[in-house]
Amino acid sequence: MRALLVVNPAATTTSARRRDVLIHALASEMKLEAVTTEYRGHARDLARQAADSDDIDLVVALGGDGTVNEVVNGLLHAGPNPDGLPRLAVVPGGSTNVFARALGLPNDAVEATGAVLDALHQGSERAVGMGLATGTPGTEDEAVPARWFTFCAGLGFDAGVVGRVEQQRELGKKSTHALYLRQVARQFLQEPHRRHGTITLERPGEEPVTDLVMSIICNTSPWTYLGNRPVYASPKASFDTGLDVLGVSRMSTVSAARYATQLLTSSPERGPHGKHVVSLHDLDGFTLHSKAPLPLQMDGDHLGLRTSVTFTGVRRALRVIV
């Protein structure tokens, strides 16, 4: 087996020495080429080359969710072809690692490497669905390129939080859950549309859902983690179905506190609920329109402002070693 290992040297939980150990372990079991990323988008470019190659069987992403997202976008640049593309394997090296943990992999890079090698020996793999987001034709977002996401996307409030966290990281702050929670509070205090949302969700054959302040799109469950605590925005979401949506149409101080508590106490059986909460399960496609430009995020990566985005759930898009 010939494999490409894409290594993010800035991964927050793996030291250079530990990366060397992991590379040696993988190289002992396969013909391995390890490449360290040098710029944003490099992992995508490497995975794209692997997808177009005839002799790469496996692409291993060593890094956080951002690295995995880039690799997935590179592998799927020409569209899904689960039987004709290299398999994907993930070794978690970021601060949260939602995708890897949702697949059932250990959050420790060494243990996850062992689990991947065991799965390869056993021939264990899984066809995983992905989400796809595109700008809607006829809007100012028409030129926005399509982008795949592995576990979540968001338009509105949560994407604003992601943007704030990224700004703090650019200033040298470490990515911690405390940092994230502080930015949630700041986003809430400065959110201009929290009482009168600007987002409308449209899907074929159904009445539109209007006046949403926040829309979280989930491709799996849990939505994220706070340390070792899983947080379930859409408990029914799965890699085996379409996309799920959690929408909130009002965020007063009281209701925001209630929804935050519901998220922190959420479970695989129940997520946020209430009069101003909309939960939709297993959607093949829908479009979010906003009366005002709002921040968009995918897999925890802030992508700027958008007024209209179409989301599609693509089943069995990629085969993953697990």
Rounded to whole angstroms, the Cα distance separating 247 from 106 reads: 30
pLDDT band at 281 (very low <50, low <70, confident <90, very high): very high
What local confidence, expressed as pLDDT, does residue 143 receive?
53
pLDDT per position as a tens digit, 102-151:
999 999 999 999 999 999 999 999 999 999 999 754 455 445 679 999 99
Task: Give the CA distances from residue 195 to residues 143, 192, 214, 215, 253, in Å, rounded to whole numbers and listed in that order.
Answer: 31, 8, 11, 14, 10
What local confidence, expressed as pLDDT, does residue 144 receive?
62
Rounded to whole angstroms, the Cα distance separating 247 from 250 reads: 9
Q: Which of 8-17, 151-160, 178-187 has the highest mean pLDDT?
A: 151-160
- Domains assigned to the chain: 2-123 (3.40.50.10330), 131-316 (2.60.200.40)
Answer whether the bond into residue 295 is a cis peptide, omega within 30°.
no
User: What does DSSP say about strands 209-212 and 147-149: parallel, antiparallel, or unpaired?
Assistant: unpaired
Place of tokens 């959110």: 191
Least confident range from 36-50, 59-73, 180-194, 276-290: namely 180-194
What local confidence, expressed as pLDDT, does residue 142 receive?
47
Least confident range from 70-79, 80-89, 174-183, 218-227: namely 174-183
pLDDT band at 173 (very low <50, low <70, confident <90, very high): confident
Instruction: Return phi, psi of residue 120, to 5°.
Output: -65, -40
Least confident range from 12-26, 69-83, 85-99, 203-217: namely 12-26
Place of tokens 């650019």: 170
Distance from chain centroid for Cα 17: 28
pTM for the model = 0.92
pLDDT band at 34 (very low <50, low <70, confident <90, very high): very high
* Mean pLDDT (the chain, rounded): 92
| Average of per-residue pLDDT across 63-85 | 95
Give the count of beta carbons closer than 10 Å to the beta carbon of residue 68.
Answer: 29
Residues 132 and 148 sit within 8 Å (Cβ to Cβ): yes
What local confidence, expressed as pLDDT, does residue 13 receive?
80
Residues 6+ apart with CB under 8 A from 167: none
Residues 6+ apart with CB under 8 A from 63: 6, 7, 8, 10, 11, 37, 43, 93, 94
pLDDT per position as a tens digit, 303-316:
999 999 999 999 99
